[in-house]
Structure 1
């Protein structure tokens, strides 16, 4: 898409309604299911939703991060988690929207993003033939089919200028969750098992666990940072041409504030995976920004040298350095842990390595198709190490 299209904001007056939409979504999420259904049955619910698939997608952005909160606090058990229910609603409204406009249902907008997901879905589908449990395989495989369907819906719903609302919704949802994370980081959670340096607490937002919270923040951060850069460049151009307008200033301030909150959210999750993933994502973004290859290489090399210099000079926070160093030690010091003495200090590391070793045993026994997608927990008893009786649900390593 061209630079002019990228930098042309949607109506600011319309965007002022977004906080109201977030408040309504939160209120509905905390209502009993019957009451929420009655409220959504009003003309405002389906009437507005059928106008555009953006509405249910925006609602899903608000509701999906609340999955753990709703599951634990809702007075009625839902048949599916709230994210899946919101996805079903989005798919239904998308289909109704296409039928109402007499569009072909099988006419899918193509994007390079689809190719790796399609290949992954097909490859993991083959593991059904070696699965210990077809039910467990199907449950995990359908999650990725949902991802594929969601990409298709977003490609259609975000055509034209409508994609801006999806970016805005993502930024708003991420910033709101980061604010909750900050409250938890400064003691709001009181969870002693998440204590950092006897002072702070690992943030987990509405996810219940720090790692998925950090992953959510890490996925959003590059997108929102790039959006901030886009609006800042547009604002700079308008200022030079002496046509500065209030909506442009406010949009830039909003995305800058959201970027700051989300990046902080990555770090206060204290998730090494989120940190490393965010660093890799930002390296890719920085590499893609310049128009010439040599400029990309020079820019990434300069940033790497800067970070490396700060690391070697001891200018980075010691707690952060220790946290990242422990991740590299786990990665490069992998060995047979069956004879390792388990202590409180090394328990977390040895536990993870033991589950990696169990996963490697599965790979050796089933080198072609594995034990079946999503079947790690079921197959674990046949491949576990002696001192590690219980599986963690997964190998803490997606490749394994």
Structure 2
């Protein structure tokens, strides 16, 4: 067993906590529902980096995969410099996320070079399994109404979503845990009865979620497990190979074992979803399952098709340089407004729900093609290298995240981005190494990042508390004005200014005497908070400030983009209210 210096033990511990704790965070409030879980993931990632630099490493690995986020970072900075991003702070946020991911890739590669892939992957797998089991218990508590030792987010619909607040994110986390549990069984770290119990817990929780993505994950893993992996005996031995001496030697036996366990998991998942429907449920509509959602999607269509159609329209409009990162939600309004009459629209979607479409919409087709080619070349290089069980597990988990990324946007959540970065650093060659004559400079950079995170937390807590108090206290004019002053101060002085400004725009009442200032706030908030009510309010303020032609143009675009009966009623109600005293 390798000897871990205390600082690097702390680094591994913090990385493990980064892969478990954020998934259990239960607080999700607007305007950024995922703020607290992402902030926690960012914090733990930076602390892991700081701990690593405290150990005074002589060098840090720079793996080839670093070019992938580096290319996106360069493109984002060029868009910022070129004025392509409507809300520059969003470009800075994305740049920060990419820098954080690049640092974690380097950290993971450096730890792998020091201790080997086997030990690194075992630490990651243990953390992911612990987090998945805790999320499974949370799902049971949500479904059955039973208490657990930690705070849980109670569902407000007929679906289960754990403390993540989103069913498909929970589904992917549970499948990651299933992969890790099977991996530990192959290492003979888990006894057969514990394996079966763990699979039943994770699979049945996954069945409660009623996610069609669960089937995709299961089928993809079955296909991956059926591949003829290289013979264990043919692989070169390493110093860290000791961790895998107990792995079954025959690849055929290992393959059959994986296929059997995955098939058992899928059957358990489907059975749990069906059994759960027969149990009492607090929601009048009852609990739905994946079969219900599949039938509904086949009959009425999937909303993703509308989102992808609008994404293709946006790509067609700006195929070379893209629309600019952070501009997607507003561009969906323009795309939806161009849809033929009588066609359903879904304006205001914040993401294309497809990684490649999102890249093409934000950065253009050439950069998307370059990213895809680089990823394929890197993957081929990984597949040509040693593919022992640790590498196979890392590839399987990356595959699950890649599948999810073609249907939603997990990589836009820091907890999944951090996991992906660590997995990427754990695979492939470590590449070049950069000698660190003064590692304390990087430690200072980590301290600066911690200071920024502290400021973000402080400002968001103020914003969050003001919104919570607004919900609890009504009818107090003085209290209302105090809160509006809080939002206005944050909008002017905080890093989170765009979000405070959008909140201010949503809550303010159009006033002819303040229409000029209110119109500026509303216009600045529209690209971030795309909603028919806010756009109609902005049209009203244009009318009040003597711009009737601009008001009508915005109103007509809103009507064309938002076509549902509910949206139409809201638009007309708000627009007609300006005529009332």
TM-score for both structures, normalised by structure 1: 0.58
Counterpart position of 2:141 = 183
2:52 counterpart of 1:94: yes
2:73 counterpart of 1:150: no
For the 8 Å contact 2:132–2:176, the answer to whether it is kept is no
For the 8 Å contact 1:131–1:372, the answer to whether it is kept is yes
Q: Secondary structure at the match of 1:108?
A: strand
1: distance between equivalents of 2:91 and 2:123?
A: 35
Counterpart position of 1:357 = 309
Q: Report the CA distance between 1:351 and its aligned residue.
A: 3.9
Q: Residues 61, 256 of structure 1: CA spacing in aligned structure 2 closer, same or farther, 3 A cutoff?
A: farther
Counterpart position of 2:71 = 122
From 160, 166, 188, give the equivalent of 1:209. 166
2: distance between equivalents of 1:281 and 1:390?
A: 34
1: distance between equivalents of 2:111 and 2:176?
A: 21
1: distance between equivalents of 2:8 and 2:88?
A: 37
1: distance between equivalents of 2:103 and 2:307?
A: 32
Q: Report the CA distance between 1:63 and its aligned residue.
A: 2.1
For the 8 Å contact 1:204–1:269, the answer to whether it is kept is yes
Q: Residues 257, 352 of structure 1: CA spacing in aligned structure 2 closer, same or farther, 3 A cutoff?
A: same
Within 5 Å, give how 1:156-171 maps onto structure 2: 156-157=110-111, 159-160=115-116, 162-163=119-120, 164-171=122-129
Q: Residues 170, 192 of structure 1: CA spacing in aligned structure 2 closer, same or farther, 3 A cutoff?
A: closer
Q: Report the CA distance between 1:92 and its aligned residue.
A: 0.9
Counterpart position of 2:355 = 398
Q: Residues 323, 364 of structure 1: CA spacing in aligned structure 2 closer, same or farther, 3 A cutoff?
A: same
Give ranges in structure 1 of 5+ residues lacking alignment.
11-46, 196-201, 232-247, 330-344
2: distance between equivalents of 1:259 and 1:289?
A: 24
Q: Residues 282, 89 of structure 1: CA spacing in aligned structure 2 closer, same or farther, 3 A cutoff?
A: farther
2: distance between equivalents of 1:83 and 1:53?
A: 14
2: distance between equivalents of 1:82 and 1:397?
A: 25
Which one scores higher on RCO, CA 8 angstroms, separation ≥ 6?
2
Q: Secondary structure at the match of 1:271?
A: coil
2: distance between equivalents of 1:320 and 1:70?
A: 25
Bigger drift between 375-384 and 259-268 goes to: 259-268
Within 5 Å, give how 1:318-337 maps onto structure 2: 320-324=290-294, 329=298
2:203 counterpart of 1:263: yes
Q: Residues 142, 354 of structure 1: CA spacing in aligned structure 2 closer, same or farther, 3 A cutoff?
A: same
Counterpart position of 1:66 = 24
From 93, 100, 109, give the equivalent of 1:139. 93
Q: Secondary structure at the match of 1:384?
A: helix
For the 8 Å contact 2:184–2:190, the answer to whether it is kept is no
TM-score for both structures, normalised by structure 2: 0.42
From 216, 219, 224, give the equivalent of 2:181. 224
Counterpart position of 1:272 = 212
What is the count of residue pairs matched by the alignment? 291
From 103, 119, 122, give the equivalent of 2:58. 103
Q: Report the CA distance between 1:122 and its aligned residue.
A: 1.1
Q: Report the CA distance between 1:230 and its aligned residue.
A: 3.0
Q: Report the CA distance between 1:277 and its aligned residue.
A: 3.1
Bigger radius of gyration, 1 or 2? 2
2: distance between equivalents of 1:51 and 1:206?
A: 28
Q: Report the CA distance between 1:321 and its aligned residue.
A: 4.3
1: distance between equivalents of 2:183 and 2:14?
A: 25
1: distance between equivalents of 2:164 and 2:107?
A: 25
Q: Residues 140, 255 of structure 1: CA spacing in aligned structure 2 closer, same or farther, 3 A cutoff?
A: farther
Q: Report the CA distance between 1:180 and its aligned residue.
A: 1.0
2: distance between equivalents of 1:259 and 1:93?
A: 34
2: distance between equivalents of 1:380 and 1:264?
A: 37
For the 8 Å contact 1:217–1:262, the answer to whether it is kept is yes
Q: Report the CA distance between 1:363 and its aligned residue.
A: 0.8
1:176-227 Cα offsets, whole Å, 9 max, x none, are 111111222345676352x2xxxxxx32121122121112223333233233
For the 8 Å contact 2:21–2:131, the answer to whether it is kept is no
Give ranges in structure 2 of 5+ residues lacking alignment.
147-152, 233-250, 275-288, 358-581
2: distance between equivalents of 1:190 and 1:49?
A: 38
Q: Residues 389, 256 of structure 1: CA spacing in aligned structure 2 closer, same or farther, 3 A cutoff?
A: closer
Counterpart position of 1:173 = 131
Q: Report the CA distance between 1:379 and its aligned residue.
A: 2.4
Within 5 Å, give how 1:346-385 maps onto structure 2: 346=300, 349=301, 351-385=303-337
Q: Report the CA distance between 1:172 and its aligned residue.
A: 1.1
For the 8 Å contact 1:222–1:282, the answer to whether it is kept is no
